[in-house]
Each structure stands twice: as structure tokens, then as C-alpha cells.
Amino acid sequence: MGKIYDVSMSIEPQMPVYKNKAEKRPVFEAISTHEEKGVQETRLCLDLHTGTHIDAPWHMLADGETVDSYALEDLMGPCKVVDLTGVRGVITPQDLAGQAEHGGFLLIKTKNSFSEEFQPDFVYLGADAARYLAEIGVRGVGTDALGIERAQPGHETHKILFQHRIVVIEGLRLAEVPAGSYRLVVAPLKIKGVEAAPARVFLIE
Amino acid sequence: MGKIYDVSMSIEPQMPVYKNKAEKRPVFEAISTHEEKGVQETRLCLDLHTGTHIDAPWHMLADGETVDSYALEDLMGPCKVVDLTGVRGVITPQDLAGQAEHGGFLLIKTKNSFSEEFQPDFVYLGADAARYLAEIGVRGVGTDALGIERAQPGHETHKILFQHRIVVIEGLRLAEVPAGSYRLVVAPLKIKGVEAAPARVFLIE
């Protein structure tokens, strides 16, 4: 097996969260400690969109499927990492031209990967670019921002992707990954009946 | 790639939890709904030992390493699934004779895999069997019980495994998996500074 790139964000109290909202931070509680009971045990409260995660259609579509509708086979396969670190603001179809492949995953590496802080002006996928990816028929698209779009009215980018059953992966860490072709594995927690799941995600060279 | 067996437990409100303790159940909270805000968003509180998960040495050793000390490369590799569905009570070295391989993972399929309820008399790994696996030098051991041991005094089984840096995987679902040789992938959430992490785990034929 080739080199493995772990492209997952570390979940910890001071990690970046969407818009830096305090209520979106993970909260750790030690329910047993070595000092008191000789065993360490932790309870964690987290928004399902914390760190690296996948969104399911129900996140934005009232009649959309939940995250358990994805089998593991839907979440692994050939993948291209594209370098869009020069892009500011919105990603357009022109930025993606010739990069995406039918049936494959596309991970978008932007300047977001080079900051450990939440970026209010994060680079995001425009609705036109989402339509372009749907036309090509990609299996999934991933971003190193905490959101695939940036508060566009009506959440158009999300909805276009979900309507075409394109897997949406958010919160990737791609700073160390050269642009190129890989095999992608997305391993979300197996959670029933919800709109998203935190995931461990890695690329195999 | 061969057939994939998802051996992870589904995380949901009524899932089995250790000793059926109410405080160990996952709690789901809808912090935004389609009806009220047009977007679904969930917060989840869960014990890190919920469902399928890995334990790190700090769980039982006061000076032990935390779960982020495992790289992904430590958590995947050749694996044998052994059928111990005939065993009741404690698993002994005799039950494992000839099954484990140096540097490989061993997953133990017992009667636990055939119940969706917590089993107070679940089949567990005895301290002698843990010592046997340490001698062989397995990389990791997994069980379809929620615990690798059953309240033995001093948590001897856990401690032997951790002292030999053997990865401990608990809460597997193996009912559908024939005994045999596979490639194992354990993908825990990347959580910093804690004693365990829930994981998506699968076998490749």
C-alpha cells in the first residue's frame, strides 16, 4: 500500500468551528478519572458538523436521505486533489475545468488548509461550480473549509450537490497533500437517522 | 478491491450500552430543524466507549498514551477473524491456539455478535489469553463484546494488552463475517488527548 495522508482535523476543545460560535465547540467531560476511580472515561458532546465530516441530503433537503443511507462502498474510490490555493472567494467552473472525473471524488485544496483558525472569508464552491460537477457526475466533493458554501441565500450549492446525490465532505486538512491522483477513504461514524457524521478521512497514494 | 464487511455498530438512542447504564446512552439533540429554520443540524453527546470503538492505554494506565498516539498505519493491516461462537464465559489461550499471527490483528467472533441487547454474561478475553497474544506479538485484538474483559479485578486483561501496545477494539458486529483472513481498517475519530475514540471499522476480503 502506498503512503497514507490523514486529511482529518483533530477534534479538541480549541479547534476551529463554523463562525467561531461557542455553542458549536466540542465539550469534553471526564466522567471517571485515574485519581478518583483508577479508570479514565470521557463523554464528548459535539455538533455532527464538527471538524472533518460528511453532510447527507437531509441537512438541507426536508425529504432528503440521512447519513446512514451511504454504504462504505459509496465513500471510497478514485480521487483527485486539485490545487486552488490561488483562488480567492468563490470557486467557479473555470477553476475546475479538466480536473473532475465521472465517478470519482474531487478534493479542493485552498488557502483554507493553511490556517488553524476559522476563516470568515473562506474559499467556497459556487452554485455554478456545483452544477458543473453534477454534469460531470462526480461521486463526491470535499473542501478544506468548514462549509462547502458561505451562507449563500437558499443554500444553493448544497442543494444542487444533494439533489445529484454527490457526497459532501467538509473540514478536510490538505496542507501536506500534493495535487494529484489518490484513492480516497471516508469513514464516518455509523450514526442512524441524522443529517451528518464526523469522519476519519484519508488518502492513499 | 474485495468485498467489504462493515463491522461497526449503529449509533442510535436505543443501542446496547455497557451494563445498560442510562448515562452511557448517546443523546441526540436537534439544534436546528427543517420546520423551524429550513436546515437540519444535530448535536450528539456520547461516551467515547459507545458502540464500536478503540481503547488507548490511558483508559487503564495512569501514565498510558492517549488515542491520538495511534497513527492510521497502526490501525490497518492483515487480520484473522476466529470463530469462538461455541465458547461460553472466558476465552483461554487454548481457544486461540494457532489462530493469532505476529504483527496481525485478531478479531474474536463470539455469541455476542448475535444479540442486539447488552449481554451481562458476555464472552470475554481472560488475562491468560491476553498474555498469550502478547507473546505472539499481535498488533491488535478486537471483540464483539462491549468490553474485552468482564469486570475482572484490576482490569488485568486491558492492562496486559496496553502494556504491550496491543490495539484494543471493542463493540464489533461480526455476525455476517465468516472466519478467515482479511485486511482490517480501523478508522477512529481523530480526537486529541483522550482515552478512547468511536470508530468506523471494516474488513476487506
pLDDT at B48: 98
What CA–CA distance (Å, rounded) separates A56 from A25? 21
Phi, psi of B164 (to 5 degrees): -100, 15
| pLDDT single digits (tens) B13-69 | 999 999 889 889 999 999 999 999 999 999 999 999 999 999 999 999 999 999 999
Indicate whether A1 pLDDT > 80: no
Give the one of B6, B39, B60 whose C-beta lies nearest to A39's C-beta.
B60
- Residue in A200, A201, A203 to test binding to B, most B beta-carbons within 10 Å: A200
Alpha carbon of A106 to those of B20, B129, B197: distances in Å? 42, 46, 28
| Ordered DSSP codes for B107-145 | EEE-GGGG-SS--TT--EE-HHHHHHHHHHT-SEEEESS
Contacts for A22 with CB less than 8 Å, ≥ 6 apart: none
Instruction: Please name the residue of chain B whose CA is at the shortest distance from the CA of residue A200.
Output: B189
What is the SS3 string spanning chain A? CCCEEECCCCECCCCCCHHHCHHHCCEEEEEECHHHHCCCEEEEEEECCCCCEEECHHHCCCCCCCHHHCCHHHHEEEEEEEECCCCCCEECHHHHCCCCCCCCEEEEECHHHHCCCCCCCCCEECHHHHHHHHHHCCCEEEECCCCCCCCCHHHHHHHHHHHCCCEEEECCCCCCCCCEEEEEEEEECCECCCCEEEEEEEEEC
pLDDT at B116: 84
Domains of chain B, start order: 48-204 (3.50.30.50)
Give the one of A43, A48, A200 whose C-beta lies nearest to B42's C-beta.
A48
Amino acid at A85: T
What CA–CA distance (Å, rounded) separates A95 from A84? 7
Tell me which residues of chain B have a pLDDT lower than 70.
none
Contacts of A5 in chain B (CB under 8 A): none
pLDDT at B66: 98
The three cell numbers locating residue B95: 481457544
What CA–CA distance (Å, rounded) separates A51 from A10? 7
Q: What count of other Cβ atoms lies within 10 Å of the Cβ of residue A11?
A: 22
Mean of all residue pLDDT scores within chain A:
96
- Residue in B1, B11, B15, B40 to test binding to A, most A beta-carbons within 10 Å: B40
Give the one of A31, A41, A189 whose C-beta lies nearest to B11's C-beta.
A189
CB contact under 8 A, A34 and B9: no
pLDDT at A119: 86
pLDDT at B82: 98
pLDDT at B151: 79
What CA–CA distance (Å, rounded) separates B68 from B175? 29
